[in-house]
Structure 1
Amino acid sequence: MVANREGRWDEDAVDGGPSSMELLLVWLRRDNNAARWRQAIERRMQATIARKVHEFFVDHGITHRTVSGIRSKLWQLGRQVGEADDWLASKGLLHVDGNEKARRTVMRLCPDYLEVAPFLRFALPRIATSPHVYGCETNHATSRRRLAKNQKLRRVDGGPGECLERHQTSRRVRTRCHNRHDDNTGIDRGAWQEMELHHRRELLRLELQIKRDQAVSVRVKIRKELLDLDLSLQEINQLLPL
């Protein structure tokens, strides 16, 4: 099978091998790769990392992706994760567990959120553009299938020419691997707590601003009523200044 150059990242597997997205997730989980990408602020540093990913792809049969395309994909995923996290923070939420409505919204903002969020938080600066929207339910199911499939890949030590091979694991082992997901990301827990504190402060600031705006609105309404009672503007300013 020849991979489609324009195909989606989760649908371009060659001859039954892993797809681009599966390989990208494997690469992010290894060593400190995710942390290095998050710290890559300059374009030159990003390109260097993207070249490493490209070499990894080629070693495992994915030859149709370009360095610039890989860099753009990582940047896009980081931006989408940021937009989803911002939405959660605006609702006072830290995760989507047990909240189906929040889960649907997050999956619309970032279809790959469940897999990539632990790796790509604090990635690149985000811009205010809308992400490409896919069908929510379809992509959620696809994401879960991809995660399960990716957990069947294991590394076989063999130096630079190491390869991936598929193996069957029990449901219990897959669940345990998924539960360790956050522990292998390289994300500093202090930084996570700092982000949570920042979001809480931002929410408090917004709440205070809303209360100020409401107070001004009430004051303006009362001033109008006083004007209707034929009080002069000077008298009103003395009684109820803005």
Structure 2
Amino acid sequence: MALSLLVPILGPPASGKTTLTLALGKDPDRHVFRLREHVPPGVVMATVSSGPRNLGWIDESVVEQAVRAYLESVVGDPLIQTVLMDNYPGTADQVRALLDVVEAVAPRCVVEPVELVLDPKVRRKRAQSRRVCHRCEHDPAADPRMPARPSRVGGWICANCKSLLHTRRGDAPSLFAARSRRHQDTVDDVRAAFDSAGIATNVLNAIVPASAVASLVEPMLIARSNTA
């Protein structure tokens, strides 16, 4: 077994990208890539103070090095067949850099991007209701991103560790709006970059529950990984 399928999972804020990667990444031969986990903590810290427009934005040279190092390590792991990329790539330059790295380290690997789309009003409502746990997720910038599961006792108590949950920093109205605008500014170029490489983007409406979205993507993962 070797890396045969790479699935960038794209979409605007609160469209369900991380929830989808969590659902699909449970199989032992799949691995989830999140950029923040592969760059130095100091770089992550710097993104928090970079202003609303560039919130979470990491220098392209750092990004390219991190992605290359990650894929080189994955290619050397015989147990990993599929990589799910949570919210990456985010720009056309990142698409081109990613495809160059894949061609260099895993030329037989199939790239199959999935884009989630969702009405802005629904996304805002989702953002207002989602919670994170600072105790369960030790983020280097104290800005956890993973969706926490609230207990049945109350929506603000973590079902896992019983500590108080919080809203995501990036879901504050002004920051959420800035992140949404940034996605809108780049999404067409990202699609075009994949198109120019002969790679079609699978677009899915994320209005349905996450489990339903996962059930739509799962057969494609199985089919592609078996034929790659």
Shorter-chain TM-score bucket reads: under 0.3
User: What TM-score, normalized to structure 2?
Assistant: 0.26
Ranked by relative contact order (alpha carbons within 8 Å, sequence separation 6 or more), the top structure is 2
Q: Which has the larger radius of gyration?
A: 1
User: What TM-score, normalized to structure 1?
Assistant: 0.25
Report the structure, 1 or 2, having the larger strand content: 2
Report the structure, 1 or 2, having the larger helix content: 1
